[in-house]
Amino acid sequence: MSRENMSASPPVRGRRYVTTRSRDLVRAKKKKKSYFDYSLLFVIIFMLAFGLLMLYSTSAYNAAIEFGDSSYYLKKQLTATCLGIAVMLVVSFLDYRKFVWSGVVIYAVSIVALFLVLTPLGMEFNGARRWINVGISIQPAEIAKLGVIIFLAVLVSNNRQRLDRVTMLIKLFAVSLFPAAIIYFVTDNMSSALIVAGIAFIMLFVASPKYSYFVLAAALGVAGIVGLLTTGNGFRGERFQAWQNPEKFASGKGFQTLQSLYAIGSGGLTGKGLGQSVQKLGYVPEAQNDMVFSIICEELGLFGGIAVIILFLIMIWRFMVIANNAEDLFGSMLVIGVMAHISIQVILNIAVVTNTIPNTGITLPFISYGGTSILFLLTEMGMVLSVSRQIKLE
């Protein structure tokens, strides 16, 4: 065979071509890496640590008087936080698609748990019957929030082609309003009912292309809430009047609001210093719960309050990044639901503390005292981190 024929041999070139192509495919596969949102994880851990610190600072005085142990609330919250972190880590390493089957289960369990409040298992605290005792105290409204997020995400992903129909939107919203109605009428917890309805509203708003329907629904909803508050004759009517003129109701429904505003005002720009709050010494009732943000502003000043808000904004930003890059619609809707939950609760809590809206019992996520709340919040964070793990980076 001649030298020309040997140099032009097709098999050699063919083998060289196959080898090069295979190497390119291997390199392409290696470039795809799983993503994990460490920025969100850092914010969560920081918020938990900060929350425990502020909880002890806020509750030590009352705990020492009521229970003879200044760290009573801290110990209970720390136990729930450690359990919640363990659950978050386990959930984060599961494939979030496995949560599809759990949506209807958690939704159904939350409905049953809400009705159990009316049974002997129900517990009353400060005149409100919103908990059940099953060995530990659980607030069923927190289960309902998680159940609505997962179940509605499943329904949206299964009906994605019909989300432009008003009948389908009404059906999906009705499914979410059912537990909200039970929360309101059975446990008389208007704030949690509004949060559940708000979660569903935001999830459907993001998923549906028909924005005009939601503008009308929002207008009707706001009008209904205002009408309920202004025409109410019970304690909600009194709270609305106290919101308009807290000084007039300084010895009644306006007392907590006024003391909260005093705490914020006395903190100034830089605050009195960590642990130096005066208002927590019996002036702000249950300061470790709904009004913890006012004590943050008193001890750490306006800068401390703004820093907390910025941390929540960073958390919401990370939610948006994960939702936009999720592998499928179900994962995206899960993250949107959690984002809606955190956003609504933060906005309403700070609005109540600053007397922007009438007083209602809404805790500040990750910071306020509440074992059930922190446990289910961290479960939701685990779901978001699970969705982030499925994102592939090129």
- Is 345 among the domain residues? no
* pLDDT at res. 87: 94
- Is 138 among the domain residues? yes
The tens digit of pLDDT for each residue in 256-305 reads: 888 888 889 888 888 898 888 888 887 887 788 888 999 999 999 999 99
- Is 262 among the domain residues? no
The tens digit of pLDDT for each residue in 191-234 reads: 888 899 999 999 999 888 777 777 877 788 777 777 766 665 56
Q: With contact defined as beta carbons under 8 Å apart, do 272 and 57 qualify?
A: no
Residue 99 has pLDDT above 80, yes or no: yes
Count of Cβ atoms closer than 10 Å to residue 183 Cβ: 27
Ramachandran assignment for 388, one of left (phi > 0), alpha (psi -120 to 50 degrees), beta (any other): alpha
DSSP state of 246: G
* pLDDT at res. 31: 52
Question: What mean pLDDT, rounded, does the chain reach?
Answer: 84
What is the domain extent for residue 126?
Answer: 99-207
- Count how many Cα atoms sit within 13 Å of the Cα of residue 178 in the half-sphere of its side chain: 16
- Is 155 among the domain residues? yes
- State mean pLDDT over 19-29: 51
* pLDDT at res. 7: 45
Q: How many domains does the chain have?
A: 1
Percent of the chain with pLDDT strictly greater than 90: 39
Residue 361 has pLDDT above 80, yes or no: no
Residue 18 has pLDDT above 70, yes or no: no
* pLDDT at res. 136: 79
The tens digit of pLDDT for each residue in 61-73 reads: 888 988 888 889 9
- Is 160 among the domain residues? yes
Residue 356 pLDDT level (bands cut at 50, 70, 90) = confident
Residue 4 pLDDT level (bands cut at 50, 70, 90) = very low
Nearest to residue 362, comparing CAs of 182, 123, 196?
196
- State mean pLDDT over 155-163: 87
* pLDDT at res. 24: 52
* pLDDT at res. 209: 79
Residue 370 pLDDT level (bands cut at 50, 70, 90) = confident
Residue 118 pLDDT level (bands cut at 50, 70, 90) = confident
Residue 21 pLDDT level (bands cut at 50, 70, 90) = low
- Is 393 among the domain residues? no
Q: With contact defined as beta carbons under 8 Å apart, do 51 and 365 qualify?
A: no
- Is 128 among the domain residues? yes
- Is 148 among the domain residues? yes
* pLDDT at res. 41: 93
The answer for residues whose C-beta is within 8 angstroms of residue 347's C-beta and 6 or more apart is none
Percent of the chain with pLDDT strictly greater than 70: 87
Q: With contact defined as beta carbons under 8 Å apart, do 336 and 57 qualify?
A: no
Q: With contact defined as beta carbons under 8 Å apart, do 323 and 315 qualify?
A: no
